[in-house]
Amino acid sequence: MAAQILDGKAMAQAIQQELAEQTAEYIQNTATVPTLAAVLAGDDPASDVYVRNKRKDCERVGMESVLHRLPAETSEDDLLALIAKLNKDQAVHGILVQLPLPKGIREQRILQAISPNKDVDAFHPENVGRLVQGRPRFVPCTPYGVQQLLIRCGIETAGKHAVVIGRSDIVGKPMAILLSARGAGGDATVTICHSRTADLAAHTRQADILVVAAGRPKMVTADMVKPGAVVVDVGIHRTEQGLVGDVDFDSVREVAGYITPVPGGVGPLTRAMLLLNTLTAARESLA
């Protein structure tokens, strides 16, 4: 029997509806509109699409979105000056710097310049440290979305063996932390695999929950998956055959118990969690 599809798009819409109600209540109680400042440097087409979609999401739930578009030749100092200005702006609750940045601008320096209280992507070292200690201010959006997907679909994680392919700061590492943390959507035993892992399939075939964030199209095939496993595909790639993920969906679907599609799986949930973090930032600003 083919795997059950985990519909991230439908779940994201439900979360957005919840956020719309919570945002309206927040505005009514505080006379303040939660505001996300997006910074887009350069002319990367994919980044432009991502930012446009995030701005539409903000509008859909009643939040304000302000776009700061900078040319590709923007200097690192100019970008830092803008971030410093946004850090001080009390009307701005969240700051999003869209990656990748133009050549010559050091990504780490830019992300560290964002105030931890407005770092709704949760990339700042202070927010990473809080996540590791189990007392997060914000949670990185993609792992947060995956965790919400598991919780809301009633997929048990406690005592399960979760395997994460990928060790990026954006997805792999925080995903492993969330899955192993105490509480809902956690308490799993976690294995992290990466490009230097020997015999990758031997590890993935042991996974009750397999989260794939490797950045390689269709790298996970049916023979790498434990029958009945939950397979979450974080990857997205534009190919001649259309959009595909890191998982060979058609073959793996015949083995797995649950699987996320690409598109329509993790992506919409990532954007929904950005809105949740922005509302959290607005609430925290009152304190």
DSSP one-letter string for 192-241: EE-TT-SSHHHHHTT-SEEEE--SSTT-B-GGGS-TT-EEEE---EEETT
- List the chain domain ranges: 31-115, 141-267
Cβ burial of 104 (10 Å; 0-12, 13-18, 19+) is exposed
Amino acid 277: pLDDT: 98
CATH number of the 141-267 domain:
3.40.50.720
Topology (CATH) of 31-115: Rossmann fold (3.40.50)
Amino acid 44: pLDDT: 83
Asked if the domains at 31-115 and 141-267 fall in one CATH topology, the answer is yes
Alpha helices for the chain (secondary structure H): 8-30, 45-61, 76-88, 107-113, 125-132, 141-152, 172-180, 200-204, 249-252, 266-286
Amino acid 45: pLDDT: 85
CA distance 25 to 282: 12
Catalytic residue IDs: 54, 98, 121
Amino acid 287: pLDDT: 80
Per-residue DSSP letter, 169: T
Amino acid 46: pLDDT: 84
User: Which regions of the chain are under pLDDT 70?
Assistant: none
Tokens 């998956």, located at residue: 225
Amino acid 40: pLDDT: 95
pTM as predicted: 0.96
Residues 164, 121, 165, CA angle at the centre, nearest 5°? 10
Question: Using an 8 Å Cβ cutoff, are 54 and 97 in contact?
Answer: no
Amino acid 241: pLDDT: 85
